[in-house]
Chains A and B, each alone.
Chain A
């Protein structure tokens, strides 16, 4: 089987990620539940990963690194926690349902939500965003890179503008964390959300919400923290205030191991490796007018996704043919990004999305190209 759906989840993991999961399961108890070696071991793992994340993303403080079950939970926490009644929110048509559905769920709060449209490349330009921002705008929610189109947005430029206007900036970095440098201070990000299992190459079921200095929110979940047990309220200090219940320790440990691996291998080396694969496939697709390629050709600002269609074919059928005949896994359909497909006018066909990991090889891309040639009958 050839796996090309890394934008959904990484499949090939660094060995140290597997080792970290097993080690956490074999050595750790439940953090902050008692003071014994098993519990302390869990707490030490959490502290170690919090510190790594703080350093990697230049978070304000390790205690503002909140562990979640993934980017969806992080975004739900940020949106339900920071968007107030009658908030004026600006977001984009590129957003995933993990942003859109929480906003729809808040429709009884009399929100005013505006959706900025990108360029066809997938780039959200500051000037287009500025047209929607007004004196009442209090929250902007943007993806760092669309999971469909892969264009990386200039969130540093956007963040600087929003800081001037004192507007909260929630960033969905699901597609970029691990692949691109993200500096919360430099980019003026109020709340950064991502999962462990995509380009950090950790396990599924773990993610992070990082809050910047002075960003406070009510919790989404209430429950035990191992502290202040007789209080009817959640603790007010981070991370406990937002981490009710038992965290996914082995998943979090895997995230730490993934970050270690990225540091050792080199983030730029990972990017260079995936760029080669992207370029090889894009060059092939561009050589034949039976294909429509979506998104950007800017290699300095793109993730490892290649979105395309075969003219006149249903994307789901293409993905089925690729898997059933060639054991190649790709993603087709709507990618949980309905407004993006409305924008691209691909609601009726969907899009085939190939997304690489640096563990993929050029030989695997050759096999994909051969399979596509067979499908288009050449």
Chain B
């Protein structure tokens, strides 16, 4: 998990984890794999703070960050970068 960028030093209030992907297929595959595993996130358009390009990312509650990273690792899910920031 070395693709993690923490773009804010603010309090945990309104902080989320954003998983950005290399392409749409990876995003949809991610969504399919993560369902029914106790995560509360969803796919959203990539916030401009991360990228002005079009595309989608997975937004997850900050409290699930460690579990999410473990899940990604364990499942071998493909992604480009993980960001932590306010939303």
A interface residue numbers (CB < 8 A to B): 31-35, 40, 43-44, 46-47, 50, 62-63, 225-231, 235, 237-240
| Contact (Cβ within 8 A) B45 A43 | no
Which residues of chain A have C-beta atoms less than 8 A from B54's C-beta? Answer: 32-33, 226-229
**CB closest chain-A residue, reference B44:** A35
B interface residue numbers (CB < 8 A to A): 22-29, 31-32, 43-45, 52-56
**CB closest chain-B residue, reference A43:** B28
| Contact (Cβ within 8 A) B23 A230 | no
| Contact (Cβ within 8 A) A239 B23 | yes
| Contact (Cβ within 8 A) B25 A44 | no
Min CB distance A61 to B, Å, is 10
In the complex, A32 Cα to B55 Cα: how many Å? 7
| Contact (Cβ within 8 A) B28 A46 | yes
**CB closest chain-B residue, reference A31:** B24
Q: Chain A contact residues: over half helix, strand or loop, or mixed?
A: loop
In the complex, A31 Cα to B43 Cα: how many Å? 13
Q: 5 additional contacts, CB 8 Å, given A227-B55, A235-B23?
A: A40-B43, A62-B29, A225-B24, A231-B53, A239-B25
Which residues of chain B have C-beta atoms less than 8 A from A47's C-beta? Answer: 25, 28-29, 32
The 5 closest A-B pairs by CB, nearest first: A32-B24, A47-B28, A43-B28, A35-B56, A229-B54
| Contact (Cβ within 8 A) A229 B56 | no
Q: A240 contacts which of B23, B31, B32, B44 (Cβ < 8 Å)? A: B23
Which of A47, A50, A227 has the most CB atoms of chain B within a 10 A radius of its CB? Answer: A227
| Contact (Cβ within 8 A) A237 B22 | yes
| Contact (Cβ within 8 A) B23 A44 | no
Q: B25 contacts which of A33, A35, A50, A231 (Cβ < 8 Å)? A: A50
Q: A63 contacts which of B23, B45, B52 (Cβ < 8 Å)? A: B23
Q: A229 contacts which of B27, B29, B31, B53 (Cβ < 8 Å)? A: B53
Min CB distance A31 to B, Å, is 7
27 A-B pairs (CB sep. < 8 Å): A32-B24, A32-B55, A32-B56, A34-B45, A35-B44, A35-B56, A43-B27, A44-B32, A46-B25, A46-B28, A47-B25, A47-B28, A50-B25, A62-B29, A63-B25, A63-B26, A225-B24, A227-B53, A227-B54, A228-B53, A228-B55, A229-B53, A229-B54, A230-B52, A235-B23, A237-B22, A239-B25
| Contact (Cβ within 8 A) B55 A226 | yes
In the complex, A303 Cα to B71 Cα: how many Å? 46
Min CB distance A208 to B, Å, is 14
**CB closest chain-A residue, reference B27:** A43
Min CB distance A256 to B, Å, is 14
In the complex, A16 Cα to B42 Cα: how many Å? 30
| Contact (Cβ within 8 A) B53 A35 | no
In the complex, A225 Cα to B45 Cα: how many Å? 14
| Contact (Cβ within 8 A) B23 A227 | yes
Which residues of chain A have C-beta atoms less than 8 A from B22's C-beta? Answer: 237
| Contact (Cβ within 8 A) A35 B23 | no
Which residues of chain A have C-beta atoms less than 8 A from B23's C-beta? Answer: 63, 227, 235, 237-240
Min CB distance A232 to B, Å, is 12
| Contact (Cβ within 8 A) B24 A240 | yes
**CB closest chain-B residue, reference A228:** B53
In the complex, A77 Cα to B52 Cα: how many Å? 30
In the complex, A33 Cα to B55 Cα: how many Å? 8
Which residues of chain A have C-beta atoms less than 8 A from B29's C-beta? Answer: 47, 62
Min CB distance A111 to B, Å, is 33
In the complex, A235 Cα to B28 Cα: how many Å? 17
Which residues of chain B have C-beta atoms less than 8 A from A63's C-beta? Answer: 23, 25-26
In the complex, A46 Cα to B29 Cα: how many Å? 10
**CB closest chain-A residue, reference B45:** A35
Which residues of chain A have C-beta atoms less than 8 A from B31's C-beta? Answer: 40, 44
Which residues of chain B have C-beta atoms less than 8 A from A237's C-beta? Answer: 22-23
Min CB distance B64 to A, Å, is 20
Which residues of chain A have C-beta atoms less than 8 A from B55's C-beta? Answer: 32, 226-228
